[in-house]
A = this chain, B = another copy of it.
Amino acid sequence: MIRKKRKAGFDGPSPEEYAEGVLEGNRVMLSKAITLIESNAPQHFDAAQSLIQKITPERKPSLRIGITGVPGAGKSTFIDAFGSLLCDKGHKVAILAVDPSSQVSKGSILGDKTRMERMARNPRGFVRPSPSSGVLGGVNRKTRETILLCEAAGYDIILVETVGVGQGEFMVRGMVDFFLLLVLTGAGDELQTMKKGIMELPDLVVVNKADGENVAQAKKAMQEYNTILHFLKPYTEGWTTEAVTASALKEQGISEIWGIIEKFKEITLGSGGFEERRMEQQKDWFYESIKEQLMFRFFNSKGIKEKIRAFEEDLKKEKVAVAANVQSLLDEFFSKN
C-alpha cells in the first residue's frame, strides 16, 4: 500500500523521511512521527499508516512492560527509578502513558518530564505523554503504533503506564508482554476500591513504599496479596503471579523486580508463550479495530443518533422489543450506506 510521497494538506516530512529518521534513532524525528500518528486530522491518517507500513518489517526484539497502580502508589517515582536502572544496564527505554479517559490533550510533555526527572534527562530514555483520543481508533491505536515507532527507533524496553481512571488497565494489558501492578499497604481496603478484575491482570504485584516505619506493614500487605493471588488464576499460563515489596524512593527491590521480569521473559520465550501472546494481541487488535470502526460509522451516521436517543428512552420503560428495534435501525443504516 505505497502511497504518493506527499499528499495535499500534509506539509511535514514525507513518510519515507519519517521512516528513515526513526530507524536511525533520531529523537526529534521520532517525536514528530508520534505526533503524526496522534493527529486526529483525517489527511494525516494515510501518511501515518504509510509510515507504520514502512517501519513494520524492520521490527527489532523488545520487551513491553505495562505498569499500573492504585492512586498514591508512587508510579512516577517507581518508573523513574526502574527506567534508570534499565538504562544503566545498557537498555534503551521508552516510557509511554495511556489515558483513555482523556478526551482532550491533557498530559503535557513538561508535566511528564517533571514527574520523571532522571528519565527525562537520560540520553538512553525517551518519555512521551498520553495521546489524546481521536476518531480513528483513539488512544488504543495511537499507543500501539507509538510502541512500534519506539521499537523501530531502537528502544528495546517499552514501559507503558496507565494514567487516570477508566479501563486503561485492560487496554494496556492487551498490548504488553508483562504487566506490573503497584499497590500500597492494606490489601483489603485497597482491593475494595479497585476496579473489578484488576487483580487478575498482573504478572507481578509490587507493594511499594516499603521503607522506614512502613516496612512491617508492607510485608503484611505482601502476604495478604499473596494469599489472594493463590486463589486467583494467573494471567500468564506457566507463570505464578506473586507479590513482592520494594521502595522506589530508596531504590530497594528494584533490581530484584527486573530479575523477576528477566526470568518471566526467559520462561515465556522458551515455552513459546511470549510469541503466542504477541500474535494473539495482534489478532485481537485487528478484530477490535473492526468492531470500533463499525460502531463508529454506525453511531455517527445520519439519522441514527436521534433514533437511538428516542429508543433509549423507550428502553428505560422496558416497553419496546429490543431485537426488532435493532433490526430496523440496521436496515435503515445499510439502506443509506
Contacts and interface: CB of A to CB of B under 8 A. Distances in A.
B286 A295 contact: no
Interface string A311-337: 110011011111111111110001001
A62 B289 CA distance: 39
A192 interface: yes
Contacts of A290: 295, 298, 326, 329-330
A318 B282 contact: yes
Interface stretch (A25-33, A91-99, A229-237, A246-254): A229-237
Would you call the interface of chain A mostly helix, strand, loop, or mixed? Answer: helix
Contacts of A141: 322-323
A53 interface: yes
Contacts of A110: none
A124 B56 CA distance: 64
B279 A315 contact: yes
Contact of A315 (B199, B231, B286, B319): B286
A57 interface: yes
B323 A145 contact: yes
Nearest to A3: B324
B231 A188 contact: yes
A12 to B, nearest CB: 19
How many copies of the polypeptide does the oligomer hold? Answer: 2
Contacts of A330: 290, 293-294, 297
Contact of A191 (B196, B199, B231, B328): B231
Contacts of A312: 283, 286
Given A200-B197, A227-B227, A294-B298, A289 B188 contact: no
Interface string A49-64: 1101100110100000
A121 interface: no
Contacts of A337: 334, 337
Nearest to A293: B330
Contact of A230 (B137, B188, B282, B321): B188
B197 A319 contact: no
A191 B279 contact: no
B200 A278 contact: no
Ranked 3 nearest A-B pairs via Cβ: A49-B324, A289-B326, A52-B321
Given A1-B328, A49-B323, A282-B318, 11 more contacts: A49-B324, A50-B324, A53-B320, A141-B323, A194-B233, A279-B316, A283-B312, A286-B312, A290-B298, A293-B326, A294-B298
25 contacts: A52-B323, A56-B319, A57-B319, A141-B322, A144-B322, A192-B233, A196-B233, A199-B232, A224-B231, A227-B227, A228-B231, A278-B318, A279-B318, A282-B315, A283-B316, A286-B326, A290-B295, A290-B298, A290-B326, A290-B329, A291-B294, A291-B295, A294-B330, A297-B330, A334-B337
